[in-house]
Amino acid sequence: MSHYQYGAQVHANGIRQHYLRYGGRGPALVIVPGITSPAVTWGFVAERFGARFDTYVQDVRGRGLSQAGDDLDYGLDAQADDVAALIRALGLNDVTVLGHSMGGRIAIRMARRHPDLPLARLILADPPVSGPGRRPYPANLPWYVDSIRAAVHGMDADAMREFCPTWTEQQLRLRAQWLHTCDERAVVQSFEDFQRDDIHRDLPRVTVPTLLMGAGRGDVVTDADADEVLSLLPDARFTRVENAGHMLPWDDEEGFYRACGDFLGCPI
């Protein structure tokens, strides 16, 4: 039985925000995807969380069905304010925010800028820990730009396999279908902001229990990175999903759910 409820839009933080809702019961959980992941691509994860949580997946501005445009601010502060405004617009309380990759950085900035939000927990799934004076995020911008342009032109799963060779046919089809909705300008700015924004300065002001999750087969969050983050976060723990690369639930879905469930205190 599917836990999908509906997709909807709200006007929050001055823009149109689109989201998908799953479950409809239990504590509130908001998923903030990464740099080129429209909400629909996290549907399989939201289905699983929807069995126990009232789950919302946001289309980050410039992605999916949320507002995009040349005049839109795609900076981290605006993205963080979007999540806070979405939570308020939906009237959610005691919210767990799960941010993957870029979404993890958004969650950190959101918690710092909006200390009055009714947050319960944060889950930071393999967030880039790059910033001024730090090692760069270990990915290449042309990979994102080239794949987006191919999707805008029109591509199928076979063409997408060139960019994501380990993904399943279903995953490739979904990405090929939706990647064209990722605004190139938004993606380029977000990628470049990985090196410009200093999220480490935000960490001491994140006061809710936080799980930092790293990929066992990736180098986005090293052990040294995790140690530094934990030294700055007042209430945090670290875990690795040993059999996953950066796209954690795509690579090791059950390992990802176990890590989340251990932190949330219930099986996912």
Q: Going from the N-terminus, what domains does the chain have, and what CATH number goes with each?
A: 4-139+198-264 (3.40.50.1820)
φ, ψ for residue 88 (rounded to 5)? -70, -40
Give per-residue pLDDT as tens, 216-232: 999 999 999 999 999 99
pLDDT at residue 264 in the model? 97
pLDDT value at position 44? 97
In one-letter notation, the amino acid at residue 166 is: T
User: What number is the average pLDDT over the span 13-19?
Assistant: 98
Q: Rounded distance, CA 254 to CA 79, Å?
A: 29
Instruction: Give the whole-angstrom CA distance, residue 192 versus residue 149.
Output: 18
Which residue has 């995807």 as its token pair? 33
42-48 long-range contacts (CB < 8 A, ≥24 apart) are: 42/100, 43/4, 44/249, 44/253, 45/249, 45/253, 45/256, 46/3, 46/4, 46/20, 46/22, 47/2, 47/3, 47/4, 47/22, 48/257, 48/268
List the alpha helices (DSSP H) in 9-140: 43-49, 76-89, 102-113
pLDDT digits (tens, 9 = 90+) for 57-79: 999 999 999 999 999 999 999 99
pTM (two decimals): 0.98
- Mean predicted confidence (pLDDT) in 6-24: 98
What average pLDDT score do residues 91-113 get? 98
Chain-centre distance of CA 254, in angstroms?
A: 18
Q: In this prediction, what percent of the chain has a pLDDT beyond 70?
A: 100
Give the pLDDT band (50/70/90) at residue 134.
very high
Question: What is the rounded average pLDDT for all residues in the chain?
Answer: 97
CA distance 52 to 27: 8
pLDDT by residue (tens digit) across 157-195?
999 999 999 999 999 999 999 999 999 999 999 999 999
| Residues sharing a CB contact under 8 Å with residue 230, sequence separation 6 or more, in sequence order | 212, 236, 237, 238
Would you state the pLDDT for residue 245? 96
% of the chain residues with pLDDT over 90: 99
- Residue 266 is predicted with a pLDDT of 95
